[in-house]
């Protein structure tokens, strides 16, 4: 079975916060509002649709999804 | 010192590709066909007006310019008929790297989602108080009696100044960013009045700090050093000016859309879970804000040479209608899944207030729909639009209840 991981590229993120709004379980913000993935970025199967939505709404193309 | 190129009467635009003018009445009333035509015929238009300025209309080109802070400086962010030297400073939006980051980091923590969530209940109350005033009349001007008053009162409260001063702020913004594009004296007068007001507020906070944005900016530090008064004043000019007519325009445009497309209003009432994607779609389709850059080094964008000394009107609203980026770009699809719109800019100058604007827009539409689910445009009265840097409706006559269509 494949597993999915998500990563926010910190050099691209500008803090639009769309990912946090769309998939709050998977992203957290620092004090400046920049996002990073929660923990090691593992995406439970139930959240795969949400993470895809977050990726598709990031104006900076900062969200990378890797299937392992 | 001021250099001025254009005086007197404004000639109508002949060819938009070589003579564009965002103050032309055709742009003001309906810019979308202009941008569509340019995108297919001449995606980076130029004009000799404004002492020389480019107009990119493709998403890809707008994005490339927004990301290229080395050739495209933010020292000037408004396309005007004249150029002020030095240009008016409202850091960090008028600041380039490397100074930009530390200045932006002073403001960013004040606008993160957790901070904005704190003022949501009062925004909801405010919206209902505004609706109370016209509810029994069955008609209103949604731009003047509703949208206009939400952001200005919220930012006044955040800054820590009287809500009733909002009319002053709106006048200054009109003078600086709208009329002031062509009228230098008006721009200077508006700026001077805003400076006097903010300087007095800064002095008050020095003696007695308060729990408000002005105090937080005045006590802001970079590498342990207090901001100079000039820097603090410039940042407060930004906080005062950036969040008023912009969000007013966004709320007004959303309600204008829902008045014209009642099936979208009905769907949002029936399926409130669509509100978040609907708000993003309104922001995409009716993005109010264009910013500008000054070309400081010659560049090439998609094979198109860009000459230093010109301005660039960074038309985020045009980028948002680019069919190469957004399928059915001219259709408003309130459940659009993929939406990387540029309403709040792209790159390092992403709007600091985007979380605040989204909250205000969401709350204003939600509270309106709760109280006034059925409404339409009043066919007897015109919808009017603002001019220049920020485009949004300034009159949206609405009928509802017994008088509704």
Q: Share the mean pLDDT of chain A.
A: 96
How far is the C-alpha of B90 from the C-alpha of B86, rounded, in Å? Answer: 12
CA atoms within 13 A on the CB side of B248: 31
Structural domain count of chain A: 1
Q: What is the CATH number of the domain that holds A19?
A: 3.30.70.20
One DSSP character per residue, B65-114 reads HHH-TTTEESS--S--SEEESSPP--TTTT--TTTHHHHHHHHGGGGSHH
Q: Parallel, antiparallel, or unpaired for β B53-56 and B311-314?
A: parallel
Domains of chain B, start order: 2-403 (1.10.630.10)
Residue B36 tokens read as: 């569509």
Of A14, A32, A57, the CB nearest to B109: A32
Whether the predicted model's global pTM rises above the 0.90 cut: yes
Contacts of A53 in chain B (CB under 8 A): 337
> A7-19: per-residue pLDDT in tens?
999 999 999 999 9
Q: How far apart are CA B385 and CA B27, in angstroms?
A: 10
Q: Helix axis angle, B245-260 relative to B149-159, nearest 10°?
A: 150
- Cβ neighbours, 10 Å, residue B379: 9
d(C-alpha B114, C-alpha B104), whole Å? 18
Would you place residue A1 in the very low, low, confident or very high pLDDT band (cuts 50, 70, 90)? low
pLDDT for B8 equals: 52
A-chain CB neighbours of B355 within 8 Å are: 17, 33
* 8 A C-beta contact, residue B54 and residue B44: yes
pLDDT band at B239 (very low <50, low <70, confident <90, very high): very high
pLDDT of B403 reads: 63
Count, residues in chain A: 68
Question: Whole-angstrom Cα distance, residue B189 to residue B175?
Answer: 8
User: Is B339 in the A-facing interface, judged by CB distances under 8 Å?
Assistant: yes
Does A57 sit within 8 Å of B346, measured CB to CB?
Answer: no
pLDDT in tens, B75-118: 999 999 999 999 999 999 999 999 999 999 999 999 999 999 99
Closest-CA residue of chain B to A31: B109
- d(CA B79, nearest CA chain A) in Å: 25
Rounded CA gap, B43 and B38, in Å? 5
Over chain B, what is the mean pLDDT?
95
The range of the structural domain enclosing residue A30 comes to 4-67
């Amino acid at each position: 079975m494949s597993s999915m991981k998500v990563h926010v590229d910190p050099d691209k993120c500008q803090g639009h916060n769309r990912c946090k709004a769309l998939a709050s379980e998977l992203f957290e913000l620092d004090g400046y509002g920049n996002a990073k993935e929660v923990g090691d970025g593992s995406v439970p199967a139930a959240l795969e649709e949400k993470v895809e939505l977050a990726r598709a709404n990031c104006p900076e193309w900062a969200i990378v999804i890797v299937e392992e | 010192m001021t250099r001025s190129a254009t005086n007197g009467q404004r000639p109508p635009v002949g060819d938009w590709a070589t003579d564009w003018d965002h103050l032309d009445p055709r742009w003001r009333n309906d810019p979308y066909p202009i941008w569509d035509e340019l995108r297919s015929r001449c995606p980076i238009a130029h004009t000799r007006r404004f002492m020389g300025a480019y107009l990119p209309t493709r998403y890809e080109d707008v994005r490339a310019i927004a990301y290229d802070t080395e050739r495209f400086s933010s020292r000037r962010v408004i396309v005007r008929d004249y150029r002020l030297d030095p240009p008016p400073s409202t850091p960090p939006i008028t600041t380039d790297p490397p100074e930009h980051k530390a200045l932006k980091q002073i403001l960013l923590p004040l606008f993160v989602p957790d901070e904005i969530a704190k003022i949501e209940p009062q925004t909801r109350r405010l919206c209902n108080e505004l609706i109370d005033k016209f509810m029994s009349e069955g008609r209103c001007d949604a731009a003047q009696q509703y949208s206009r008053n939400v952001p200005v009162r919220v930012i006044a409260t955040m800054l820590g100044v009287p809500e009733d001063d909002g009319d002053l702020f709106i006048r200054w913004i009109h003078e600086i960013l709208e009329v002031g594009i062509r009228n230098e004296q008006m721009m200077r007068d508006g700026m001077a009045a805003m400076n006097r007001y903010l300087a007095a507020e800064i002095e008050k906070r020095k003696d007695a700090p308060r729990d408000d944005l002005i105090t937080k900016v005045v006590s802001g530090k970079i590498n342990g050093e207090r901001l100079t008064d000039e820097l603090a004043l410039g940042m407060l000019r930004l906080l005062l000016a950036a969040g008023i007519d912009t969000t007013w325009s966004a709320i007004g445009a959303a309600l204008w859309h829902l008045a014209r497309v009642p099936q979208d209003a009905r769907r949002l009432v029936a399926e409130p879970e669509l509100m978040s994607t609907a708000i993003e779609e309104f922001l995409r389709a009716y993005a109010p804000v264009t910013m500008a850059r000054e070309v400081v080094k010659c560049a090439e964008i998609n094979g198109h040479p860009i000459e230093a000394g010109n301005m660039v009107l960074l038309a985020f609203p045009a980028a948002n209608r680019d069919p190469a980026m957004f399928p059915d770009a001219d259709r408003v699809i309130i459940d659009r899944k993929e939406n990387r719109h540029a309403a709040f800019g792209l790159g390092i100058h992403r709007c600091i207030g985007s979380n605040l604007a989204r909250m205000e827009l969401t709350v204003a539409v939600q509270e309106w729909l709760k109280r006034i689910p059925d409404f339409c445009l009043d066919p007897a009265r015109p919808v009017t639009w603002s001019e220049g840097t920020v485009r949004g409706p300034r009159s949206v006559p609405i009928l509802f209840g017994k008088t509704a269509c």
